[in-house]
Amino acid sequence: MAPLFQRSAGVLLHPTSLPSRFGTGDLGPAAVAYLRWLAGAGVTWWQVLPLHPPGPGRSPYSALSTFAGNELLISPGRLLEDGLAEPAWLDGAPSFAAEWVEFGAVEYWKDGLLREAFDRHRKQRRPDLVRDLEDFRHRHRGWLDDFALFLALRRAHDGRAWWEWLRPLAFREPAALAGWASVHRDEIELVVFCQFLFFRQWEAVRAAARQEGVKVLGDVPIFVARDSADVWAHPELFLLDDERRPTVVGGVPPDYFSSTGQLWGNPLYDWPTIAADGYGWWTERLRHELTFADAVRLDHFRGFSAHWEVPAGDADATGGRWVEGPGRAFFDAVSAALGGLPFVAEDLGEITPDVVALRKGLGLPGMAILQFAFDPVDRSLFLPYKHHRDLVVYTGTHDNNTSVGWYLEDATDEERDLLRRYCGTDGREIHWDMIRLALGSVADQVVIPHQDLAGLGSDCRMNTPGVAEGNWRFRVTPWMLSEEIQERLADLVWTYGRAPTEGKGSGDRG
């Protein structure tokens, strides 16, 4: 089996973190400019977090749908280009913060903008947009109707979870749904239209990425949120009781991040039922994800071998147990349907021999995190001298502190000492020392969070596991996209043989 990656480099930055005067990064000109910046540094992979609509807490790993796109990423600038917005609408946007996403304010303003764009479309009925919208509806009919009805219902119930709706709606009684939909058709059509805009704009970003020679690495959470269109529309796929409440929920046992584990609360899959259907829902989910990206990271890969099952109602994850997952049969079915397995296995945490055997048997690259590498007593497999080619090496991920923040605040004195010894450095530019270690690894792929390229501290981390509020807000500002940072990265990418050998991108240093 050919490796997923040639020797190359990637950068991790979620689109919400891109610069924009509209309060959050989006799929407009700044996304294209960022792709050019990456290509100019010789970077050939852009890693993003899940692009789905986040639920409470704004976590993209707890989305309202595992198929839909995040409306917050729709670009006002592209609406203007499409004739769906007036310049005055954008000129009248509030003055948003440049450094952080102010979710509430941005969501309120963008909701109004999208409603105006929808009204304009219905009045104009441009033949090309009408045709493209109908084509979109046809191609995505397998999930779109359920999601549009779900989101319209959720909005009509002031954002309350689906199990708090009237029982006939929560339990999807056909007559109740049909009656509600007939009264609220405009709200349902608004959702469909916004999904059309998201996919239209993301496809334009993907086209720009191909032009720049940059591929996209996406991200697939293994579990879905209970308050999602997926669980509401397909309760038979999950371990729920007669009232459609989870009997068990997902999490992980105590680990580096938490002494009591992590209690995610996601409903767990009824794998025998899913297997009896030939893994059809999962296959379509992954097929759909590969329309977002060239390859995807499977978050919590070990759950396909065995997952941590916690009784519903437990206060933390300590009372859970390991339960066998679908294993090789699942991936054989997916491979047969998709013609391959373009996946990265997120194999962090408590990894047992069965998980390693599954990953290696499938030929999937795993992950190594340099922030976890420098305990001088228990020499980690993440130390660069222990790396192997079928790895994706990160200085840190979205769940880690930044490298500077980790070094200054989280690392022990012993870890700091070993890291300085290993790098032959005084630690004054520890982020570049760690970037150099990653790029110099024998591993085929390296991914650097953009915060590390800019040498940012702990106030700029993307997420703190176990903390519900204040996450996912980080944004880059213009100095973080400077030519100096780009050239320094390009030099290291070329030095360690990760620059593209042909096409766009840096690499000709002669």
**195: its two tokens:** 């999904």
Instruction: With respect to residue 56, please indicate whether it lies within any of the assigned structural domains.
Output: yes
Dist. CA 250–CA 229, nearest whole Å: 18
Q: How confident is the model at residue 504 (pLDDT cuts 50, 70, 90)?
A: very low
What type of residue sits at position 82?
D
Could you say which of 212, 230, 346, 433 is catalytic?
346
User: Which has more pLDDT, 505 or 113?
Assistant: 113
Given a cut of 70, is residue 238 above it in pLDDT? yes
Active site residue 346: yes
pTM: 0.96
Region 257-281: mean pLDDT is 92
Instruction: With respect to residue 346, please indicate whether it lies within any of the assigned structural domains.
Output: yes
Instruction: With respect to residue 1, please indicate whether it lies within any of the assigned structural domains.
Output: no
**113: its two tokens:** 């903008």
Active site residue 299: yes
Residue 162 pLDDT: 98
Could you say which of 289, 299, 444, 452 is catalytic?
299
Residue 508 pLDDT: 52
Q: Which residue has the tokens 């945490």?
A: 349
Residue 3 pLDDT: 81
Residue 146 pLDDT: 98
Residue 1 pLDDT: 59
Residue 493 pLDDT: 98
Given a cut of 50, is residue 510 above it in pLDDT? no
Q: What tens digit of pLDDT does each residue of 166-197 get?
A: 999 999 999 999 999 999 999 999 999 999 99
Could you say which of 399, 433, 444, 452 is catalytic?
399
Active site residue 399: yes
Instruction: With respect to residue 407, please indicate whether it lies within any of the assigned structural domains.
Output: yes
Region 95-101: mean pLDDT is 95
Q: What tens digit of pLDDT does each residue of 385-431 get?
A: 999 999 999 999 999 999 999 999 999 999 999 999 999 999 999 99
Distances, alpha carbon 159 to alpha carbons 104, 155, 168, 177, 215, in Å: 13, 5, 18, 18, 35
**What CATH number has the domain bearing residue 41?**
3.20.20.80
Instruction: With respect to residue 510, please indicate whether it lies within any of the assigned structural domains.
Output: no
Q: What tens digit of pLDDT does each residue of 467-497 get?
A: 888 999 999 999 999 999 999 999 999 999 9
Given a cut of 70, is residue 161 above it in pLDDT? yes
Instruction: With respect to residue 506, please indicate whether it lies within any of the assigned structural domains.
Output: no
**Mean pLDDT over the full length of the chain:** 95
Q: What tens digit of pLDDT does each residue of 301-356 get?
A: 999 999 999 999 999 999 999 999 999 999 999 999 999 999 999 999 888 999 99
User: Which has more pLDDT, 197 or 5?
Assistant: 197
* Segments of 158-231 assigned E as strands: 215-220
Given a cut of 90, is residue 252 above it in pLDDT? no
Q: Which residues of 346-356 are buried (b: 16+ CB within 10 A; e: fewer)?
A: bbbbebeeebe
Instruction: With respect to residue 382, please indicate whether it lies within any of the assigned structural domains.
Output: yes
Given a cut of 90, is residue 253 above it in pLDDT? no
Enclosing domain of residue 348: 8-495
Instruction: With respect to residue 471, please indicate whether it lies within any of the assigned structural domains.
Output: yes
Tell me how many domains the chain contains: 1
Coil, strand or helix at 367? strand
- DSSP label at residue 215: E
